[in-house]
Amino acid sequence: MTKISVTNFHLVENHPYVKAVAHMKMEGLYLRGLRLEQREHGELTVGYPGRKVRGQWQVVYEPGNRATESLILEQLKTHYEASERMAA
């Protein structure tokens, strides 16, 4: 099983769709700049870091399968919900 741990987590205030930004460790990799984003219908998703190349946005990295993406999303959701409870 893939081991994922959140090393840094910050809530983002006053942004239309980004709710939090996090750094994670996964299988020896350090993933920086992961965003927890909220879609129009309230669904939470993961946003991956990107860079602008010749006027076009390019994703720097993203998981190769749904299982890994689901693990990342669940970790972000867990930290987000805990942070929301602490803020209340």
- The residues facing 25 across adjacent strands are 5, 30
Secondary-structure breakdown of the chain: helix, strand, coil percentages, each rounded to the nearest 5: 25, 45, 30
pLDDT 10s digits, 44-64: 999 999 999 999 999 998 888
Q: Which residues of 59-71 are buried (b: 16+ CB within 10 A; e: fewer)?
A: eeeebeeeeeeeb
Q: Domain span at residue 21? A: 4-87
Question: What does the pLDDT read at residue 88?
Answer: 67
pTM: 0.87
**Domain count across the chain:** 1
Q: Which CATH number does the domain housing residue 13 bear?
A: 3.30.1120.40
Over residues 55-82, mean pLDDT: 93
**H-helix segments, 1-88:** 66-87
